Structure 1
C-alpha cells in the first residue's frame, strides 16, 4: 500500500568551517551546482493561454502521454541521419564529469576518473580528458594535456564565468609525485576552452575549488587546507595571501572580499560565534572589521547578512547591510532560541525570502518576506516544510514568470501539500487539479484534489523522482515537474505535469518519471523515461509544449541509460543521452548518443509564428486582468501549431503597462498577517495594542501602519493607498555590538543561505557527474548523480542511492511535536 510522503524531524544546524563537508553559512552555492540543479530538465505544455487551438489528443495519447501525433516516419529518417554515437573505448573510468565551456561554442569537456579503495589496499588512480567541439557528437582524447597528473574528481571541472574560456583542473599531487605533496598543490589551467593546458605549482594545498570573480575571470580566490585565504589576479599564475585562519569568505562587488576570522589568530572549528567579519578592497593590503561576535555571514543580491551573538542569555540576531557593511540594521524577525534556525530561501536586489524554524525540531517553520531594505519582515506562509536532516527544502523559483514560487507545507496531520504564489509571497494557493487527471487512490478526501509537486525533499528521500521542477527565463510561462494528484503528495510513482502559464493551470504530460530538457527556448522538449531496470531505445519529443509527443528510436543495441544532458541556456538544438554497455561482469564501456534536432526544425520562425499572450491572465476582459506586482506584461510567444526554430538569437519580447493599486499589491506589514484566502491584513495577537518600534542605524524608529506595505518591486500607481509612516526619534538604541565588547562563547544555530539568483542561469559552465561502482564478485551498480561528488566506496551496492542516514527519524501521525498556531 502506498504511503503518504512524510517529512523528517528537523534537528539543529551546527555549522562548520569552509573546509568541511557541510554547507557554508550564508555563502552562495557554487554557481555551476546551482545551474545544473535548475537546467537538467525541460518543459511540456498545457493549453491554458490563448494561442492557437490546441491539438486534440486521443484517449490513448492521454493515457500513455507519448503517442505519435503524425509524421513519425519522416522524422525518424531525419533524426537517424543526425544521431551520433561516441564510445569511450578502453576507458575504465568509474566517474564521468561533463562541463560545457562557453555559450554556443559547442565545446564540452569530459573527465573520467577511476580509483578503487578496497579495505586497506589502494589500486591507484587514473584520469582521462576528452574534448568535443560539436556538442558531444565526437570527442578527442586529450589526456596527454594532463601531464600524467591524476585529477581530483571532487574538485570537478572548474569553468570560468560567461565567455571567459577559462578552465581549472586540480591535480592530486601525492599520486603524481609519490609523496605527500610538501611542495604545494598543482592546478592545470586553460585559457582557450581546453585546447591547451598548463600546470601551475601552488604555494599551498587547495581545500576547495577556486572561486572565480563573477565579472573578472582573471581574479581567483582559493582556500587552502591550512585555512588560509589566497588570491590571484592573473588566473592563478601567481598567488598572494589575503588572510590566515579564515572560516568563510565571499566575493563582493568589484575588488571587495568579505571573510570571517578568529580575533586571536587561530583556527578552532568550535569557535563560531566569536568571529570577526572583515572586508578588504585591496586583496589583503588593508582590512576593515565590520562586526564581531559573528557566527556566520553571506552576501546575496545587494544584501550582506550576518548572524551575531550578543550574550549567552539572549537569542542570536540577524543583521543586514545594504552598503557592504558600512552600516547595519537588525532584521525585524520573531526572536528564535538556540534550538531554531533561519534560512534565506531567495534574495535579490529587491527582497528576501526568510524561513524561520519552529521550535521543537518540528520540521517546518514560517516564511517571512522583507521590505526593499531587507529590514522589516512580514509573515508570508506558515508550516513551510524544511528538513535539515536531508538538508533540503522544496522552495522553487519559477524563473519563466516573475513573482512565481512553488513550495510544500506540512499540515497538522503531517501530510505534505504543495502551494504556489504568483505575487512574490503575498498570497499562497493550492495548485489546481490538472484537467486530464484523476485523484489518486491514496486520497482520503476527494473534495481536496489538487496537484502536489515533488522537489528536492522527495529526491532526498530517494523516491523515484529523477529531476526537480524546471523552468527557464527564455521559455515564458513553462514549468515541468513530477507530481501526484490527490489531497496530499503521495509516494506512488509520480507522473510528469506541465503548465504553460506559470502554474495557474496544469496538464498531465507523461506517465511515470522522466528525465527532460528544454531545447530551442521552449520550441522543443525532449524526455527519456526513467527506468533503471529497463533498456532504453526511445526518446520522446514535443514541438507543442507537451500536448503531443513523438517517439524516436535512437538505437537498437543494448544501452543502459543514465542521464540526459543539453547545453545550459535552453537555446541548443542538441541533446546527449549518456549511458553504458556492459561488456562483461567487470567491464563496461561509457558511451554517449547525441541527437541534433536542427534538421527536424529547419525553418526559422517568422513573425506570423508568434502570438501575443497576457501573462497572469485569469479573468479575460477585466481591467485588472493580468495585473501582478502592479503591472501587466504581454509577451510574444511561439504559437503551439508553429513548427519552426526560434534560434540562438531569440530574445523574449514583451510590453508592460502599469495598473492601479489593490490590496493584492501589498504585503502585510510588520506585526500583521493574512488569514486564509483573505486579502485583508490583521494584527498579530501578540503585538496587538503595542507600539511598533525598531532600531535603524542606532536610533529608534516608530512604525505607524494600517497593516500594509507595498510588495518590493511592485509598480502600481493610485488606487488602494493605505497610510504608513516611519517616524525617527532621538532615542538611541543598541543597533550593533561594540567592536570592543568582550566576545562570549556560546553554541548557536547557523543561518543557512541557498540563494537561487537569476544571474546563475547565465553562467557558461555546467557540470554533470555520472558514477559507476565496480565491486569484485558482485553485479555492477551504476549511479547517476547530479553534482554529488561522493568518494568511491568499495562494495556499498545496497546503499548507493540512499541519501538517508541511519539516525534519521520520520513523521508519524501520532507525533507530539509542537505545532504553530
Structure 2
C-alpha cells in the first residue's frame, strides 16, 4: 500500500448568515432511495421567536453521491421549510420526499411533495398547522399521519394530495402492524391529564375505531407487543400480543412511587425491561421476557440509567446476532472497578455532554465489526475518549485512533473512514482497509474547515463520504465529498475471503460458537485483501445446529444468575412463596427447576430442565382496562343484541353463584387469592413505559464504568422504545 490514489470532488453550498438578531443556520442531509446517488441538502435559518415569524431555506440536490450539487430552491418557491420537520424521506426507497413549508405572512402551511427523488415538487396547501413530523405508514408509503397543533389527527391516502381529519383530541399516535393506527385520546381536551386517557385503535384508516384500554397513562409499541401503563389508583403495566384484544399484567418485581420501569427494546420474541433500583442509585436491573411478554427474568444488575430517564447505553449490535452492549455502575472491590477495563461510551455519555461525537456503529453487512468511543482507567481518561474497533462483535477491542473522531463504515466493512473531532479547523481524513489495524491519512482540502459532521449513504455499501462544516469567516456552509472508489481498484474474488466462526471462544469445545442453538460460519474479507466488495455484496453464512446447554436458557421467573455463574438460583424474596402469575385471564402456577428456554432458541437435545405451568382455574383478568370493543359506526341492532346477551349472562351468573354457595362452598363465597407478584404490582405505583416521563436519579454516588454485555438473544428491532 505504498501508493494511494483518492479522487476528491468538492462542492460548496452557501448562504449568507447575518449578525445581530439572526440565529445560526442549520444544515440537514438526506439520502433518497437506495443506490440512487441522490442526496438532498436543506439549509435553514430563521428569526428568533420574540420577533416577527420569518425564515429562509435553500435546497440543494446531488445525483452523484454529493460530488456535485445543484441549487433547486426554486422548486420550493423560496419558502421557509421548518427545520424541526426537515426532510421526510419514505422508508421504502421509492423516491418519495415530503417537505413542510411555513408560509409565514399568511399563517398557512404547504407541503412540497416529490415522487421522483426530488427532481420535481408539487405544492399542496395543508388544511391545518402540523405539530409533528409526517409519519409514513411502513407498509404503504402513500399513506401518512400527522397531528395538528389543535391535537387533531389527520391522514392522507394519496401521498399528501388530500387530507382528512379522522379524530380529535389525540395525544400520542403510532403506526402499528398491518396498517393499524394506535393513539391515546382525552375527551376533556387535555393531554396533561394522564391516567384518564383512552387507548384506541383503527384498522381501516379511521373509518371505525375500537377502544382497547381506558385509564391509560401512556403506551408503547414494540415488535408484536403493545404496552399500556394503566391507572388503577396506582399504575400497572399491561401487555398484549394480539393488538389489544387480550391484556396481561407484566410479572415484574415491585417498585415504589420513586422508581420506574422503562422498556429498552422489543422484537417479535421478547422484551428488554429496565427496572429501577430504590434510593436514587442511578441504576437498575435489566429483565427479559418470555415470548408472551408476561413473565420476566433477571438478566443484568446495576444497569446504568440517565438522570433524565431518557437515555441508557443499551445498544443492539447489528453486525452480529445476539450481541448487546450496555453500562453498569461499579461497586467497591468488584471486578468492574479495575482500572484496566475498557468502558464503551454510548447514549449516556452524549447525554452527559461528554466529548463523544458518535455512538457505537455497526452494520449488518459488516459482520462482527463495531466502531465505538472508549476509555480505559479513571475518570480523566473519559474526558477525551479514543476510538476502538472490534472485529468479533465486542468480545475483543483494538485501540484504533487517539482522541474523539467522526467515523463511518463503507463497502460493507472493507473500508473504514474517520475524521478528527476538534474545535480547530481540519483538512485531513483517515481511512483503513484492514478493519482498523492500520490507518492512512489524506489531505482533502488546502483550506481547512470547522467540521460539523460526516455522513455516507445508509447501508454501508457506498464508497463516498460527505463532510460538512464552515470556514473561519462563518459565511458559507461547505460540503466536501470524497470518492474512495479509485482506492479499491480491484474487485474481490473468492480467494479474498476466509471462513470465520462467530462467537468462537474455545475452538476445542464441541459447542464453540453456539448462540441461540446454532453456529454461524461466515465468509469474511481477509484483513490483508485490498479489494472492492461492491454494492451487490451479500453476507454468506452456513448454519449448524447445537445441543442444548444452560447457555440456551434464561433463569426462570423467581430465579437469577449470580455474577460469574451459569447456575440459576432462587431469589431470596421469592423463597417460600408459590410461583404464580396471571396469564390470559387465569392464574397459572409454575413448577420449575429454575430455567426457561430463550425465545427463538433452536437448540436440540442436551440439557432439558423440568418446567411445567398448571392452570389453577382461578380467574385473574385485570379489571383496569374496560375496553369498549364496539366501533363508532356500530348499528342500533348490534347494540340491542349485545344488551340481550349481557342480560342472559347476568341471569346465568346469578344462578351459578347461588348454586355454588348452596352446594359447593357450604353457603360461603369463594375467595380469589392473587399471586404474590400480583399483590405487589397492585399495591405500588408502577412508573415507566412513558416516553415523556422524567425520572430523577443521583449518579454521583457511584463510579460509572462499563462492560461489553452479551446475551444469547434473537436480533431485535433496533429502534429504541
Q: Is the 8 A contact 1:345 1:753 kept in 2?
A: no
Q: Give secondary structure in 2 for the equivalent of 1:387.
A: coil
Deviations 1:775-804 (A, max 9, x none): xxxxxxxxxxxxxxxxxxxxxxxxxxxxx9
1:179 aligns with 2:103: no
Q: Is the 8 A contact 1:452 1:489 kept in 2?
A: no
1:341 aligns with 2:260: yes
Q: Is the 8 A contact 1:328 1:736 kept in 2?
A: no
> Which of 192, 201, 220 lines up with 1:270 in the alignment?
192
Deviations 1:515-547 (A, max 9, x none): 110000000000111111x22121110000011
1:553 aligns with 2:443: yes
- Residue 204 of structure 1, CA deviation: 1.4
Q: 1:98 to 1:144 in 2, by over 3 A?
A: same
Q: Which residue of 1 aligns with 2:662?
A: none
1:158 aligns with 2:82: no
Deviations 1:376-410 (A, max 9, x none): 10011111111142731111111111111111111
* Separation (CA, whole Å) in 2 of partners of 1:530 and 1:273: 45
* Separation (CA, whole Å) in 1 of partners of 2:53 and 2:194: 39
* Separation (CA, whole Å) in 2 of partners of 1:282 and 1:814: 52
Q: Which residue of 2 aligns with 1:494?
A: 385
* Separation (CA, whole Å) in 2 of partners of 1:483 and 1:386: 18
Q: 1:814 to 1:555 in 2, by over 3 A?
A: closer
Q: Give secondary structure in 2 for the equivalent of 1:608.
A: helix
Q: Give secondary structure in 2 for the equivalent of 1:117.
A: coil
Which has the larger displacement, 718-727 or 353-362? 353-362
Q: Give secondary structure in 2 for the equivalent of 1:172.
A: strand
Q: Which residue of 1 aligns with 2:216?
A: 294
- Residue 750 of structure 1, CA deviation: 4.0
- Residue 490 of structure 1, CA deviation: 4.4
> Which of 454, 465, 474 lines up with 1:564 in the alignment?
454
Q: Give secondary structure in 1 for the equivalent of 2:462.
A: coil
* Separation (CA, whole Å) in 2 of partners of 1:165 and 1:321: 35
> Which of 392, 398, 412 lines up with 1:507 in the alignment?
398
1:306 aligns with 2:228: yes
Kindly report structure 1 stretches of 4+ aligned residues shifted beyond 6 Å. Answer: none
* Separation (CA, whole Å) in 2 of partners of 1:582 and 1:189: 36
Q: Which residue of 1 aligns with 2:275?
A: 356
Q: 1:123 to 1:319 in 2, by over 3 A?
A: closer
Q: Give secondary structure in 1 for the equivalent of 2:349.
A: helix
Aligned length: 643
Counting only pairs closer than 5 Å after superposition, residues 752-767 of structure 1 correspond to structure 2 as 752=690
Q: 1:86 to 1:463 in 2, by over 3 A?
A: same
Counting only pairs closer than 5 Å after superposition, residues 28-107 of structure 1 correspond to structure 2 as 70-71=1-2, 74-75=3-4, 78-79=5-6, 82-92=7-17, 94-107=25-38
* Separation (CA, whole Å) in 1 of partners of 2:547 and 2:689: 38
Deviations 1:4-59 (A, max 9, x none): xxxxxxxxxxxxxxxxxxxxxxxxxxxxxxxxxxxxxxxxxxxxxxxxxxxxxxxx
* Separation (CA, whole Å) in 2 of partners of 1:813 and 1:395: 19
Q: Give secondary structure in 2 for the equivalent of 1:588.
A: coil
* Separation (CA, whole Å) in 2 of partners of 1:87 and 1:658: 55
- Residue 498 of structure 1, CA deviation: 0.9
Q: 1:225 to 1:450 in 2, by over 3 A?
A: same
Q: Is the 8 A contact 2:58 2:78 kept in 1?
A: no
1:167 aligns with 2:91: no
Q: 1:808 to 1:634 in 2, by over 3 A?
A: closer
* Separation (CA, whole Å) in 2 of partners of 1:162 and 1:710: 35
> Which of 457, 471, 475 lines up with 2:362 in the alignment?
471
TM-score (norm 2): 0.85
- Residue 729 of structure 1, CA deviation: 2.1
* Separation (CA, whole Å) in 1 of partners of 2:153 and 2:408: 38
- Which is bigger in relative contact order (C-alpha 8 A, separation at least 6)? 1
- Residue 327 of structure 1, CA deviation: 1.2
- Residue 618 of structure 1, CA deviation: 0.7
- Residue 412 of structure 1, CA deviation: 3.7
> Which of 489, 503, 518 lines up with 1:631 in the alignment?
518
Structure 1 residues without counterparts, runs of 5 or longer: 1-69, 418-428, 431-444, 755-803, 816-821
Q: 1:695 to 1:747 in 2, by over 3 A?
A: closer
* Separation (CA, whole Å) in 1 of partners of 2:609 and 2:277: 31
Deviations 1:675-733 (A, max 9, x none): 11111101111111211111111111111111100111211111111000111122111
Q: Which residue of 1 aligns with 2:476?
A: 589
* Separation (CA, whole Å) in 2 of partners of 1:454 and 1:639: 28
- Residue 488 of structure 1, CA deviation: 7.3
- Residue 117 of structure 1, CA deviation: 2.5
Q: 1:97 to 1:345 in 2, by over 3 A?
A: same
Q: 1:813 to 1:691 in 2, by over 3 A?
A: closer
Q: Give secondary structure in 1 for the equivalent of 2:573.
A: helix
Q: Give secondary structure in 2 for the equivalent of 1:491.
A: helix
Q: Is the 8 A contact 1:658 1:717 kept in 2?
A: yes
Task: Work out which of the two has the higher radius of gyration on C-alpha atoms and give 1 or 2.
Answer: 2
Structure 2 residues without counterparts, runs of 5 or longer: 18-23, 629-681, 705-721
